[in-house]
Amino acid sequence: MTEPKPQPYMNNGTVQFFNAVEPRPARTETSGNVTINNNGTPGQPAHFKVNFIITAPCDLLDLVHNVLHWTCVVPADTDEAQYRQVEDQAAQRLPSHLRALADALETQIAEATEKRHQAKRKDD
Q: What is the pLDDT along the chain (124 residues), one digit of tens a residue?
A: 566 676 888 889 999 999 999 999 999 999 899 999 999 999 999 999 999 999 988 776 777 888 999 999 999 988 999 999 999 999 999 999 999 999 999 999 999 999 998 888 887 7
pLDDT at 25: 93
For residue 41, give the amino acid letter.
Answer: T
DSSP 7: P
Q: How far apart are CA 83 and CA 17, in angstroms?
A: 10
Per-residue DSSP letter, 4: P
Question: Residue ranges of the alpha helices (H) in the chain?
Answer: 83-123
The pLDDT value given to residue 4:
64
Cβ contact 69:49 at 8 Å: no
What are the phi and psi torsion angles at 11 (to 5°)? Answer: -75, 170
Check residue 123 and report its DSSP letter.
Answer: H
Cα–Cα distance for residue pair 87/84, rounded to 1 Å: 5
pLDDT tens digits, one per residue of 84-118: 999 999 999 999 999 999 999 999 999 999 999 88
